[in-house]
Amino acid sequence: MRYLMLICNDETAAAAMSPAEQEQSTARYIDFQQEMGSRGLLEGGARLRPTSDATTVRVVDDEVLTGDGPFAETKEQIGGYYLVDCKDLDEAIEVASKIPHARFGTIEIRPIWEMDMP
Amino acid sequence: MTPVEAAVAEAYREEWGRVVATLIRLTGDWDLAEECAQDAFVRALEHWEHEGVPRRPGAWLTTTARNRALDRLRRDATGAAKLREVTTLMAADEASPHETGPVRDPVDDSGIDDDGLRLMFTCCHPALSLDAQVALTLRTLAGLTTAEIAHAFLVPEATMAQRLVRAKRKMRNAAIPFRVPPAHQLPERTRAVLGVLYLTFNEGYAATSGRDLTRQGLCAEATRLARTLTRLMPDEPEALGLLALMLLHSARVATRTDGAGDLVLLEDQDRSRWDTDLITEGAGLVEQALRRGRPGPYQVQAAIAACHATAPSHADTDWAQIAGLYGKLHRLTGSNVVELNRAVAVAMADGPAAGLAITDGLEASGVLEGYHLLPATQADLLRRLGRRDEAALAYRRARTLARTDAERRYLTRRLASVEAAVEPAGESVPSGG
């Protein structure tokens, strides 16, 4: 069963971290990825640039409308994601609880809608 | 009701959840499991009439439901792969009836009714909303119909049906596992199960003042499920505590409202009408639980209820012990409402001034702001100290905050009595009644 884990937190807090704190955070992520990698659960993941670098695109009447910023203004933003393959939701919850940002923000677990391709 | 109908009805109460649970484990399909269980009970009505009631009705029903599921999967073309999976599981089941899955943990070792416990934990999975947990538990474990559950929770049947469909869909799509959680998750998940049962009981209990029998039936369902849980988790003292608490509340249910449906305070209840069998059993369970030396909120609440239920009268209640238990409960839960209850008990044990010291502390901290029972309690203690002007002010404050007409009527009566400066006989603020 595959799940996408969306790492949501207040990106202004992330921007305000000192170099030492950033280093510590990176070390925690390396530990997390090592553990989940060795358990064979990790299929992908990345840290995302802040929403100030985001661009939105919509097509209305065949016209491409491009905008600045994220889709919605919210208190927490998606700062990264992991794609994992777990036995069931309980294992996914366990993995999510070990993502370092689970302590500062929220991890949203979304089951992948698997498509039967012909 | 014929004897066979009675036997089927009893089997339904006792075995429904277990039959459904086993079918869910075997097929992984909640709807199929429910439909096949339903079929099995219908067939029982016919077959038991001719062949007599089987020695083990549960086994007969499970086998019948299982065969029905196999038939259904055979006829369903897309069920071929599923069928192979299910027949493999069933063969494994027959080879060793208690070895039912890869997950083994201490509570499973009793070997009794693993499926029922799996079902209980799965219905109460925290990834489901609390509403959905309660609905699933009542539908799947207790066998209530969707219409009955909707009625009990005062929502339209379509809303409840939708809630159940969504919960089952999430269970499937998000892969919520059908199992007893592993040891490290067990305490948290057990609390969730106990919470769902207690919420269900309270819904029924709140309705006991009315004439709504469906809602009141929730008390019996919740008590039955709690009893099952104590059998499935014999080492969990909180399950015993919860069952004891339910029995002790049930013992007093007939006396807690008057003919007009108004609440009767604990001290005014006719103790001769309390159910002594339930009290004896409840009080026994509390002792049994506390002997394990792992107290928890349900055990302590049950101990408080036992103190009340076994006291010969309101005045001859062991208030010092109740105050101590509320102190313990406050340490366990951090609840400020519990602290308010402690104030009432302390006032009974050591006099109104001692109670007032606690309520004044609560008021100063502002943690119970807007909660009408704080000024109502203060008013009562002030009245007993003869400080009538302050009491009247506090009653007025409480009346502004009260949420129901019955509460406002009560507070108006109390206000009138202090303003008339006449000491009324035998009324005080509710204390855990």
Return the number of CB contacts < 8 Å for A and B. Answer: 24
Question: pLDDT value at position A111?
Answer: 97
Chain B residue closest to A110 (CA)? Answer: B174
Q: For tokens 């069952």, name the residue.
A: B243
Has residue B113 got a pLDDT over 70? no
Has residue A74 got a pLDDT over 90? no
CB B218 within 8 A of CB B279: no
Lowest mean pLDDT among A43-47, B261-265, B379-383: B261-265
Burial class (CB in 10 A: 0-12, 13-18, 19+), B92: middle
For residues B298-312, average pLDDT: 97
Has residue B78 got a pLDDT over 90? no
B-chain CB neighbours of A113 within 8 Å are 173
Lowest mean pLDDT among A72-86, B170-184, B229-243, B418-432: B418-432
Lowest mean pLDDT among B31-45, B65-79, B314-328: B65-79
d(CA B359, CA B380) in angstroms, rounded, equals 11
Question: pLDDT value at position B278?
Answer: 97
Instruction: Output A102 or B88, whichever has higher pLDDT.
Output: A102
Closest partner CB to B177 (pick from A90, A109, A113) = A90
Task: Tell whether A90 is within 8 A of chain B (Cβ).
Answer: yes
Task: Tell whether B181 is within 8 A of chain A (Cβ).
Answer: yes
Q: A118 pLDDT band (50/70/90 cuts)?
A: low
Instruction: Output B221 or B258, whichever has higher pLDDT.
Output: B221
Task: Tell whether A111 is within 8 A of chain B (Cβ).
Answer: yes
A-chain CB neighbours of B127 within 8 Å are 89, 93
Burial class (CB in 10 A: 0-12, 13-18, 19+), B331: exposed
Query: What one-character-per-residue DSSP string does B151-188 give?
Result: HHTTS-HHHHHHHHHHHHHHHHHTT---SPPPGGGHHH
Has residue B107 got a pLDDT over 70? no
Chain B residue closest to A4 (CA)? Answer: B174
Q: B384 pLDDT band (50/70/90 cuts)?
A: very high
Interchain contact, B176 vs A93, CB within 8 Å: no
Task: Tell whether B177 is within 8 A of chain A (Cβ).
Answer: yes
Has residue B285 got a pLDDT over 90? yes
Interchain contact, A87 vs B127, CB within 8 Å: no
Question: pLDDT value at position B14?
Answer: 87
CB B428 within 8 A of CB B266: no
Q: B110 pLDDT band (50/70/90 cuts)?
A: very low
Residue closest to B299 by CA, chosen among B395, B198, B221? B198
Chain A residue closest to B170 (CA)? Answer: A111
* Cα end-to-end span (Å), chain B: 38
Question: pLDDT value at position B182?
Answer: 87
* Cα end-to-end span (Å), chain A: 20
Instruction: Output A110 or B98, whichever has higher pLDDT.
Output: A110
**Structure tokens given for B189:** 């998940």
Lowest mean pLDDT among A44-48, A70-74, B345-349: A70-74
For residues B30-52, average pLDDT: 95
Has residue B309 got a pLDDT over 90? yes
Question: pLDDT value at position B355?
Answer: 97
Strands A42-47 and A2-9: unpaired
Closest partner CB to B173 (pick from A90, A92, A111) = A111
Interchain contact, A111 vs B177, CB within 8 Å: no
Task: Tell whether A89 is within 8 A of chain B (Cβ).
Answer: yes
Q: Which residues of B47-72 are buried (b: 16+ CB within 10 A; e: fewer)?
A: bbeeeebbeebbebbbebbbebbbeb
Share of chain B above pLDDT 70, in %: 90
d(CA A80, CA B347) in angstroms, rounded, equals 56
Has residue B57 got a pLDDT over 90? yes
Has residue B95 got a pLDDT over 70? no
Q: At what angle do helices B319-333 and B336-350 cross, to 10 degrees?
A: 160
pLDDT in tens, B129-160: 999 999 999 999 999 999 999 988 889 999 99
Task: Tell whether A114 is within 8 A of chain B (Cβ).
Answer: no
Task: Tell whether A58 is within 8 A of chain B (Cβ).
Answer: no
Q: State how far the alpha carbon of B311 is from the alpha carbons of B227, B251, B308, B351, B380, in Å.
A: 25, 13, 5, 19, 22
Q: B74 pLDDT band (50/70/90 cuts)?
A: confident
- Mapped onto helix, strand or coil, the DSSP state of residue B310 is helix
d(CA B201, CA B217) in angstroms, rounded, equals 9
Beta strands in B331-378 (DSSP E): none
Q: Which residues of A15-30 are buried (b: 16+ CB within 10 A; e: fewer)?
A: eeeeeeeeeeeeeebe
- Annotate A45-62 with three-state secondary structure: EEECCCHHHCEEEEEECC
Task: Tell whether B175 is within 8 A of chain A (Cβ).
Answer: yes
Question: pLDDT value at position B94?
Answer: 65
Task: Tell whether B174 is within 8 A of chain A (Cβ).
Answer: yes
Question: pLDDT value at position B229?
Answer: 93
A-chain CB neighbours of B125 within 8 Å are 89
CB B86 within 8 A of CB B27: yes
Question: pLDDT value at position B197?
Answer: 95
Q: For tokens 């399909």, name the residue.
A: B29
B-chain CB neighbours of A95 within 8 Å are none
Mean pLDDT of chain B: 88
**Structure tokens given for B264:** 């009767």
Rg (CA), chain A: 16
Burial class (CB in 10 A: 0-12, 13-18, 19+), B242: buried
pLDDT in tens, B349-362: 999 999 999 999 99
Share of chain B above pLDDT 90, in %: 71
Question: pLDDT value at position B1?
Answer: 84
Question: pLDDT value at position B49?
Answer: 93
Task: Tell whether B185 is within 8 A of chain A (Cβ).
Answer: yes
pLDDT in tens, B188-209: 899 999 999 999 998 888 776 6
Domain ranges of chain A: 2-53+72-111
Question: pLDDT value at position B109?
Answer: 36
d(CA B30, CA B198) in angstroms, rounded, equals 24
Question: pLDDT value at position B102?
Answer: 40
Has residue B105 got a pLDDT over 70? no
Query: What one-character-per-residue DSSP string does B101-118 give?
Result: -S---GGGGG-S-HHHHH
Question: pLDDT value at position B243?
Answer: 98
Alpha-carbon distance A116 to nearest alpha carbon in chain B (angstroms): 14
Chain A residue closest to B184 (CA)? Answer: A94
Chain B residue closest to A109 (CA)? Answer: B174
Instruction: Output B265 or B372, whichever has higher pLDDT.
Output: B372
Task: Tell whether A87 is within 8 A of chain B (Cβ).
Answer: yes
Question: pLDDT value at position B112?
Answer: 36
Question: pLDDT value at position B406?
Answer: 76
Chain A residue closest to B180 (CA)? Answer: A90
Has residue A35 got a pLDDT over 90? yes
Interchain contact, A89 vs B185, CB within 8 Å: no
Interchain contact, A90 vs B181, CB within 8 Å: yes
Question: pLDDT value at position B133?
Answer: 95
Report the CATH architecture of A2-53+72-111: 2-Layer Sandwich (3.30)
d(CA B113, CA B187) in angstroms, rounded, equals 20
Q: In what order do the strands lie in the sheet with A2-9?
A: A42-47, A77-85, A2-9, A106-111
pLDDT in tens, B5-29: 999 999 998 899 999 999 999 999 9
Question: pLDDT value at position B98?
Answer: 45
Burial class (CB in 10 A: 0-12, 13-18, 19+), B371: middle
